[in-house]
Amino acid sequence: MNIYLVIILTALIGEFALRSMARYLNLKALDPKLPAEFEGFYDGDKYRQSQEYTRAGAKFAYVSSTFDLCLILAFILLGGFNVVDTFVRGLNLVPILTGLIFFAILYFARDIISIPFALYSNFIIEEKFGFNKMTVKTFVLDQIKTYALAIILGVPLLGGVLYFFEKTGTYAWIYAWGLIAFFIVIAPPLFTTLIAPMFNKFTPLAEGELKDAIQRYTGKVKFPITEISVMDGSKRSTHSNAYLSGFGAKKRIALFDTLIEKHSVGELVSVIAHEVGHHKKKHVLKGTVLSVLHSGLLLFLLSRFVDNRALFEAFQMEQTSIYAGIVFFSILYAPIELILSIGLNYMSRKHEYEADTFAAETIAAPEPIISALKNLSVSNLGNLTPHPLTVFLNYSHPPILQRIAALRQFDSA
């Protein structure tokens, strides 16, 4: 049997088994006894509801991941990629356009197939637990906008990568790396100024106690803010969040309207302090640098496999091509991606602790952020007792009780 096919099938089935085991252990770790730290925040019914929400999400993940695995295995073993390739080659276009159409067919077909799962997640599970506020109209418009963005951004990016690998020989991966690095750097301001407003409405935060408190805090820590906005998150969900974006002297704070509704001024300022901590500790810059380095590694390895005939034979391809080689390598690369994601999640959890500490130090008390974390967890029906394997594989943030325990230690110190 083809060695690449063995590696790919082993990786796909192995990752599925690993994540399924993590979900099973996560459900077993659900503790019906409310942790003492949350007494007074969760009542009995609400806490049971949070565990039912975790169970519902896990059961849905079992079904969707099983479907995904069966779909990709069938597509590989039945020669689906060759069928698509034969079709696009029959259009008799130049290689770059042929490749873009190949990518588009795979992307849109996969996304359309996943729509029933997205509908079930939003309109059944999220609706059942009181989170969904999205209408069918909003869902459809979001899909259309997402497809438009995929075309507007994907065509120049993928087209550029295909051009370099088609035309520039040995050092193609370096040119492609430069292009992708450029996209990584401009992505945050592009998201803030163009993409986010396509999906949500942003209005300036009204004058008053909250705005004054935020401005006092950002002035105290010498963090320049050019805009404080309220985002209509309630248009889609009652889940709440906040984010801070921008580089240099132009920083923008966006608060979900659902966040403002559920938290005190002190808690909201502590949430802002946490986000400021990420910037002050250079977490955003470090993340950008790591993304650039990761893309460079990916492209270097791709350059070594992109025309590997044995890899194409694993997918029953009749002809080789740069565009199909990119897709096949991305599947072959999955085990490395899993390992890297675990490392990146570990680093992200470490950064969350650092941002919490920064917030507690600059506010001069950990209680506001502890209170904010508790209320966020309750309003989002967060799982208070995740299994360590689930945290290890999936969590970019530490479990809430561990974050609170670390803040309690800061308080003692």
Residues 6+ apart with CB under 8 A from 95: 162, 166, 321, 322, 323
Model pLDDT, residue 193? 83
Q: C-alpha dihedral over 63, 68, 71, 76, to 10 degrees?
A: -150
- Asked if residues 257 and 281 have their Cβ atoms less than 8 Å apart, the reply is no
The 10s digit of each residue's pLDDT in 146-176 is 999 999 999 999 999 999 999 998 899 999 9
What band does 92 get if pLDDT is binned at 50, 70 and 90?
very high
Model pLDDT, residue 42? 86
Cα torsion 261, 263, 268, 274: sign: negative
- Asked if residues 244 and 278 have their Cβ atoms less than 8 Å apart, the reply is yes
Q: Quick check: pTM over 0.75?
A: yes
User: Is-catalytic flag, 356?
Assistant: yes
How many helices (H) and strands (E) are present in the chain, helices listed first? 18, 4
Considering 166, 356, 361, 411, which one is annotated as catalytic?
356
Considering 39, 275, 313, 367, which one is annotated as catalytic?
275
Segment 226-248 mean pLDDT? 82
Q: How far apart, in whole angstroms, are the C-alpha atoms of residue 77 and residue 66?
A: 16
Axis crossing angle, helix 322-332 with helix 80-89, rounded to the nearest 10: 160
The 10s digit of each residue's pLDDT in 342-389 is 999 999 999 999 999 999 999 988 899 999 999 999 999 999 999 999
The 10s digit of each residue's pLDDT in 40-70 is 888 888 999 999 999 999 999 999 999 999 9
Closest CA to 127 of 207, 32, 236: 236
Residue 250 has pLDDT above 80, yes or no: no
Model pLDDT, residue 244? 79
- Which CA distances in Å does 50 have to 43, 118, 237, 395, 396? 11, 21, 16, 18, 20
Residue 413 has pLDDT above 60, yes or no: no
Q: Across-strand partners of 229?
A: 204, 254
Q: How far apart, in whole angstroms, are the C-alpha atoms of residue 62 and residue 306?
A: 33
> What is the phi/psi pair of residue 61, to 5°?
-65, -35
Structure tokens at 266: 């002190």
Model pLDDT, residue 247? 63
Residue 223 has pLDDT above 90, yes or no: no
Model pLDDT, residue 224? 83
Rounded percentage of the chain residues whose pLDDT exceeds 90? 75
Q: Tokens 């588009």 appear where?
A: 104
- Asked if residues 80 and 74 have their Cβ atoms less than 8 Å apart, the reply is yes
User: Is-catalytic flag, 166?
Assistant: no
Residue 275 has pLDDT above 80, yes or no: yes
Model pLDDT, residue 180? 96
Residue 412 has pLDDT above 60, yes or no: no
Is 39 in a helix, a strand, or coil?
A: strand
Per the prediction, the chain carries an average pLDDT of: 92
Segment 312-334 mean pLDDT? 94
